[in-house]
Amino acid sequence: MTLDELEARCEEVRMEWAQASAAAHDPEALEALRVRFLGRKGSVTSLFDALRALPPDARATAGKLLNALKGEITAALDDRRGALEREAIGARLQAERCDLSLPGTWRPLGRLHPLTQVRLEIEDIFQKLGFDVASGPEVETDYYNFEALAIGADHPARDDWDSFYIEDRLLLRTHTSPVQIRVMKSQPPPVRIVCPGRCYRRDDPDATHSPVFHQIELLWVEKGLTMAHLKWIIGEFVSAFFGPGYEMRFSADFFPFTEPSAQIHIRRPPGDWLEIMGAGMVDPAVLVEVGYDPEEVSGFAFGLGVERMAMLRWGIEDIRLFYQNDIRFLSQF
Ligand code: PHE
């Protein structure tokens, strides 16, 4: 082969390369090209073999030509490989793209039952006034539910608290007042507690009665407490829970475990009087029963209905709505 011939071959190979490489669009095709041109039996490699057949004085020139051709093809292969890699990465990024502006999956949020909201709010009001939260069993003995609260077996007041009996002297508590007894028996005075809880009475359900309902009891026993403190505490509660501008009215009532006893009404003029709770000074007989000295300490208590507070707050007219679990009702609070 002469130098001219070699030069012509180089030109042919260059054109072959241009054609073949234009048609290569993936890494496998590029690898096949590399083998075809630069592999052990590749067209460029075999030209290097032909170099040896040239006269010595032409070899240097021919070597430069071949090296240039090999360099061109190597560089072009690298370029194409790089471009393909970038394309592949781009395609993958596009395919795996996550559109952060798309709306998410909506999950409905629950909320607290209105009775729970009211209970927590009332607990909070009294905790800020220094009261602890206490609780007792819903299945209660006759002793705690009645006897210790001065409601003897044949006391006519038992008719007001007709209950569900589990056994002869075991019943579902009819009020939260038994918690007063349990707490006083477990510690010396002073006592400042609120006792929220479920209560049960054998009432026929109607718009204002439910056989299961909730009360919050308050009890404060300490040296020197009078009815004036009771009035102050209730006034604090009314303005915290119902808001400003309410009048309060105490009227005489009767509970076997308080003396005197009162029914408390509130109203925002010119509205009607609304009954909010029963209350009274703890009867000395109850203090004696729990081992306190009525000459040393005095106290007062009240019991309010959680349902009643919620009904007054939101203008709800049927107590049964609280237990039907109708989401259309519950989601309004
Ligand atoms: N336990 C009474 C009731 O359920 C309410 C009450 C509590 C009255 C405390 C006075 C003192 O009707």
Ligand 1 centroid–CA 206 distance in Å is 21
Residue 259 annotated as binding site: yes
Cis before 156 (ω within 30): no
Q: Do residues 42 and 185 both lie within one domain?
A: no
8 vs 325: CA distance, rounded Å: 93
Does residue 155 share a domain with residue 77? no
Atom 5, ligand 1: residue with shortest CA distance? 303
Please name the residue whose Cα sits nearest to atom 9 of ligand 1: 302
Give 52-95 pLDDT, tens digit per residue: 888 888 888 888 988 999 999 999 999 999 988 999 999 999 99
**Residue that wins the pLDDT comparison between 100 and 228:** 228
Query: 256-315: per-residue pLDDT in tens?
Result: 999 999 999 999 999 999 999 999 999 999 999 999 999 999 999 999 999 999 999 999
pLDDT of residue 59: 86
Predicted TM-score of the model (pTM): 0.72
Q: What is the mean pLDDT of the segment spanning 187-193?
A: 98
Q: What is the tally of structural domains in the chain?
A: 2
Q: Please check whether residues 52 and 173 belong to one and the same domain.
A: no
Question: Are 175 and 319 in a shared domain?
Answer: yes
- Residue of 163, 175, 209, 253 to test ligand 1 pocket, by largest number of atoms within 8 Å of CB: 175
Does pLDDT of 158 surpass 90? no
Ligand 1 nearest-atom number relative to CA 176: 1
Q: Looking at the structure, tell me whether residues 61 and 151 fall in a common domain.
A: no
Order of strands across the sheet that contains 258-267: 132-133, 191-200, 212-222, 298-305, 274-282, 258-267, 247-255
Mean pLDDT of 205-215: 96
Predicted confidence band of residue 2 (pLDDT cuts 50, 70, 90): confident
Residue 56: per-residue pLDDT: 85
Give the torsion through C-alpha atoms of 64, 66, 68, 70, to 10 deg.
Answer: -150
CATH number for 234: 3.30.930.10
pLDDT digits (tens, 9 = 90+) for 225-235: 999 999 999 99
Which atom of ligand 1 is nearest the CA belonging to 174?
Answer: 4
Residues 29 and 154 both lie in one domain: no
pLDDT, position 51: 82
Cβ neighbours of 263 (radius 10 Å) = 17
Q: In the listed set 95, 128, 162, which residue is the last one of a domain according to the structure?
A: 95
Q: How far is the CA of 314 from the centre of ligand 1 (A)?
A: 24
At residue 89, the pLDDT reads 93
- Residue 105 maps to a domain: no
Tokens of 121: 């709010």
Of 15, 14, 34, nearest in space to 24 by CA: 34
Probe target for ligand 1 pocket from 254, 255, 283, 306, with the most ligand atoms within 8 Å of CB: 255
- Cα–ligand 1 centroid distance for 262 (angstroms): 10
Pair (129, 197) in one structural domain: yes
Q: Over the chain, what is the mean pLDDT?
A: 94
Q: Which domain range does residue 11 map to?
A: 3-95
Same-domain check for residues 161 and 198: yes
Between CA 103 and CA 254 the distance in angstroms is 61
Atom of ligand 1 nearest to the CA of 218: 9
Q: What is the pLDDT of residue 261?
A: 98
Q: Is there a domain that residue 109 lies in?
A: no
pLDDT of residue 225: 98
Q: Is residue 104 part of a domain?
A: no
- Whether residues 13 and 57 fall in one domain: yes
Decide which of 41, 64, 95 is a domain's last residue. Answer: 95
Domain boundary (27, 61, 95) is at 95
Question: Three-state secondary structure along the chain?
Answer: CCHHHHHHHHHHHHHHHHHHHHCCCCHHHHHHHHHHHHCCCCHHHHHHHHHCCCCHHHHHHHHHHHHHHHHHHHHHHHHHHHHHHHHHHHHHHHHCCCCCCCCCCCCCCCCCCHHHHHHHHHHHHHHHCCCEECCCCCEEEHHHHCHHHCCCCCCHHHHHHCCCEEECCEEECCCCHHHHHHHHHHCCCCEEEEEEEEEECCCCCCCCCCCEEEEEEEEEEECCCCHHHHHHHHHHHHHHHCCCCCEEEEEEEEECCEEEEEEEEEECCCCCCEEEEEEEEECHHHHHHCCCCCCCCEEEEEEEEHHHHHHHHHCCCCHHHHHCCCHHHHCCC
Question: What residues are in contact with ligand 1 under a 6 Å CB criterion?
Answer: 175, 177, 217, 255, 258, 278-280, 301-303
| End-to-end C-alpha distance for the chain, whole angstroms | 98
Expressed in angstroms and rounded, the spacing between residue 177 Cα and the centre of ligand 1 is: 6
- 100 in any annotated domain: no
55 within domain boundaries: yes
121 belongs to a structural domain: yes
Same domain for 159 and 215, yes or no, is yes
Residue 142 alpha carbon to ligand 1 centre in Å:
16
Query: Are 267 and 221 contained in the same domain?
Result: yes
Q: Is residue 107 in some structural domain? A: no
134 lies in some domain: yes
Return the residue whose CA atom lies nearest to atom 6 of ligand 1: 303
CA of 127 to the centre of ligand 1 (A): 20
Ligand 1 center from residue 79 Cα (angstroms): 91
Claim to verify: residue 81 and residue 219 sit in the same structural domain: no
CA distance 289 to 303: 20
Please name the residue whose Cα sits nearest to atom 4 of ligand 1: 175
